[in-house]
Amino acid sequence: MSHLLGLIGSPALPLGTAGRYVAAAYIVAFVIVAAYVAIMALRLRRIEHALGELAADAHARHDGEDSISALTGERLEG
């Protein structure tokens, strides 16, 4: 029974001198994940910007076709 009481009082992970290495490993993992998230955010912003430009071009092209078809009475194909 005293053996169980001894286990209750001990820490879950007896780190000792390895605690610094474990903390460093967690910090490195956090930095890697943070860098990955930052890179993905930059890529997403760039893709959204390019998509916005494509949408604007498509609207301009569609509006141009409507004005030409209004003048000629025909719908342009292509």
Q: What is the pLDDT of residues 53-67, one digit of tens each?
A: 999 988 888 877 666
pLDDT for 68 equals 58
Q: Residue 69: CB partners within 8 Å, gap ≥ 6?
A: 75, 76
Q: What is the pLDDT of residue 59?
A: 87
- 35 or 7: whose pLDDT is higher? 35
Residues 6+ apart with CB under 8 A from 63: none
pLDDT band at 77 (very low <50, low <70, confident <90, very high): low
Encoded amino acid at 27, one letter: I
Task: Say what the pTM is.
Answer: 0.55
* Residue (of 15, 22, 60, 12) closest to 68 by Cα position: 60
